[in-house]
Amino acid sequence: MSNFRDKSGLTLIEVLLASALLSVAMVSMLTAITRCLHVFHTSASYHDAMWALTMAEVENPLIKTLRAEDFEPDDHDVSPEEYGNVTYERSVEDPYEDDEDSEVRLIVIKTKLSWAGRNREKSEEITRYLLYRG
Q: Are 107 and 79 in contact (CB under 8 A)?
A: no
pLDDT tens, the chain, 134 aa long:
556 666 677 888 999 999 999 999 999 999 999 999 999 988 888 898 889 988 988 888 876 545 545 556 666 788 888 888 899 999 888 887 777 776 777 888 899 999 887 788 888 899 998 887 65
Q: In whole angstroms, how far apart are CA 89 and each of 25, 50, 81, 84, 123?
A: 46, 13, 7, 14, 11
Count of domains observed in the chain: 1
Give me the phi and psi of 85, to 5 degrees please: -105, 20
The predicted model scores a pTM of 0.65
The answer as to whether 63 is a domain residue is yes
Q: Are 52 and 78 in contact (CB under 8 A)?
A: no
The answer as to whether 69 is a domain residue is yes
Domain that holds residue 92: 9-133
The answer as to whether 42 is a domain residue is yes
The answer as to whether 4 is a domain residue is no
The answer as to whether 3 is a domain residue is no
